[in-house]
C-alpha cells in the first residue's frame, strides 16, 4: 500500500532506506466512503492525506451558506488544509470524499517531528510548500484575471480529466458559477 | 540600511552574527522611483525585494488588457513573484513601485546558494513559504467566497491603512472591481 507514496517521495528527494522506513511507518491507512467529511471547518487540521485511489474536495462555506470549492485532489497527490496545518488555527474549509478513496494519512505531530529528525523530509516539505504555493497562486490568478467562460476553457485545456470525471455540479462549483451558467458556457463553446 | 531586514530575519530564526553578516552582504540597495517597473511579465523573476520604505504592487494583465492586482507590499515585508522565482519560469505578473521606495534586493542565485550554506536560511525560507502560502490562500478564499461589498468590508476591518494610503483606483483594482463600483459600495457602507 506504500508503493505510490514511496515513488512520490523518492521522485522529489534522495533518502536512505532507513529514513524511508521511518517515514512510511508514520502513515496510516484510511478507507473513506463517498461523501464522508474527513476534515471539518471549525476543527483543526490534524492530518495530511496522500491519495492512493479516489478523489477529495476541499471547500469553503460562503457567508450565504453555499459551498465554494478551493481544490480537487486526485490519485498520487497530497491534500490537507495547509493554513490550519501550519498554524494550528481552526479550519475554515472542509474536506469531502468525492469517490470512495484509499488514503494514507500522517498526523500533524508526526509530520513536524520528522522535520527535526530526517533532513530529507525538510527538503521534501520545502518542495511541497513550493508546489502548494504555485498551485494556489495559479488558481488565484485565474480568478482575478479570467471570466467564467475563460476559466472553463482553461480547465478543458489543462485538466480535461477533471471535467470528464466529476459531475457537472462539482465542476460548476469549482469554477464558482451555477450549473445553469456552466450549461450555457458548454453549449456556446 | 540593514536594520529593518536584520530585525525581520532575527524575528523568525536564530542565527550567528557571521551567518547574518554573510546574508546581509548579499542584499543590495535599490532606490526606486514611483511608477517604475522593477519586474516585468515575460522576463524571469531574478530578484527578491525587502521593503525598507515605500510600497510595491504586483499585478497581472487580463486577456482584455486590463490590470488585476494580486498584492500590495509595504514596509518590512518581502516581495517577489515566487512562482517564477522558484521555477525559473517566465513571469506572468509585473511589479510596480507605487510610492518612491527604498528597497534591498537579493539575486535569485545568491538566495539559493545561501540555502545550501546557511541552515538558518533554509528554516527562514520555510517560514517565508508558509507565510506566502497563507497570504495567497486567504486571498483566494476571499475571491471565491465573498462578493465585492464583503471583500471591501473585510479589507476595511483588516487593512484599513491600505484603504487610507492608496488611491481609490488601486483599492478598486485590488478588489477587482471598477472605481465606480467602489464608490457605490463606499456610499452604501
Q: What is the pLDDT of residues A145-171, one digit of tens each?
A: 999 999 999 999 999 999 999 999 999
Is B71 domain-assigned? yes
Is A100 domain-assigned? yes
Is B90 domain-assigned? yes
Q: Closest to B144 (Cβ–Cβ): which among A143, A146, A150?
A: A143
Q: How far apart (Å, rounded) are the C-alpha atoms in residues B149 and A42? A: 25
Q: Retrieve residue A15's grid coordinates.
A: 533518502
Is A84 domain-assigned? yes
Is B140 domain-assigned? no
**Residue ranges, chain A, pLDDT below 50:** none
CATH number of the structural domain spanning residue B57 = 2.60.120.10
**Which residue range forms the structural domain that includes residue B94?**
3-118
Q: What are phi and psi of B92, to 5 degrees?
A: -105, 0
Q: How far apart (Å, rounded) are the C-alpha atoms in residues B28 and B34? A: 19
Residue B178 pLDDT class (50, 70, 90 cuts): very high
Is B142 domain-assigned? no
Up-side HSE of residue B34: CA atoms within 13 Å toward CB? 3
Q: How far apart (Å, rounded) are the C-alpha atoms in residues B127 and A184? A: 44
Is B169 domain-assigned? no
Cβ of B83 and A140 within 8 Å? no
Please state the domain count of chain B.
1
Q: Which residues lie across from A29 on neighbouring strands? A: A104
Q: Does residue B138 have a pLDDT over 90?
A: yes
B146 to chain A nearest CA, in Å?
Answer: 7
> Average pLDDT over chain B, rounded to whole?
94
Per-residue pLDDT at A188: 84
Decide the pairing of beta strands B37-39 and B47-61: unpaired
Per-residue pLDDT at B63: 87
Q: What are phi and psi of B64, to 5 degrees?
A: -85, 5
B-chain residues within 8 Å CB-CB of A126? 122, 125-126, 129
A-chain residues within 8 Å CB-CB of B87? 134
Amino acid at each position: 500500500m506504500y508503493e505510490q507514496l514511496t515513488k512520490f517521495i523518492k521522485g522529489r528527494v534522495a533518502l536512505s532506506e532507513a529514513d524511508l522506513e521511518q517515514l512510511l511507518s508514520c502513515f496510516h491507512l484510511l478507507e473513506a466512503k463517498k461523501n464522508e467529511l474527513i476534515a471539518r471547518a471549525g476543527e483543526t487540521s490534524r492530518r495530511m492525506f496522500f491519495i492512493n485511489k479516489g478523489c477529495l474536495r476541499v471547500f469553503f462555506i460562503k457567508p450565504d451558506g453555499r459551498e465554494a470549492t478551493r481544490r480537487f485532489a486526485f490519485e498520487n497527490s497530497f491534500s490537507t488544509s495547509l493554513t490550519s496545518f501550519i498554524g494550528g488555527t481552526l479550519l475554515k474549509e472542509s474536506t469531502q470524499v468525492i469517490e470512495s478513496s484509499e488514503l494514507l494519512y500522517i498526523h500533524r505531530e508526526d509530520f513536524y517531528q520528522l522535520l527535526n529528525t530526517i533532513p530529507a523530509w525538510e527538503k521534501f516539505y520545502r518542495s511541497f510548500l513550493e508546489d502548494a504555493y504555485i498551485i494556489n497562486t495559479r488558481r488565484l490568478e485565474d480568478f482575478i484575471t479570467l471570466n467564467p467562460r475563460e476559466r472553463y476553457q482553461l480547465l478543458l485545456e489543462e485538466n480535461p480529466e477533471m471535467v470528464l470525471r466529476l459531475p457537472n455540479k462539482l465542476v460548476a462549483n469549482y469554477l464558482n458559477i451555477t450549473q445553469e451558467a456552466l450549461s450555457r458556457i458548454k453549449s456556446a463553446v
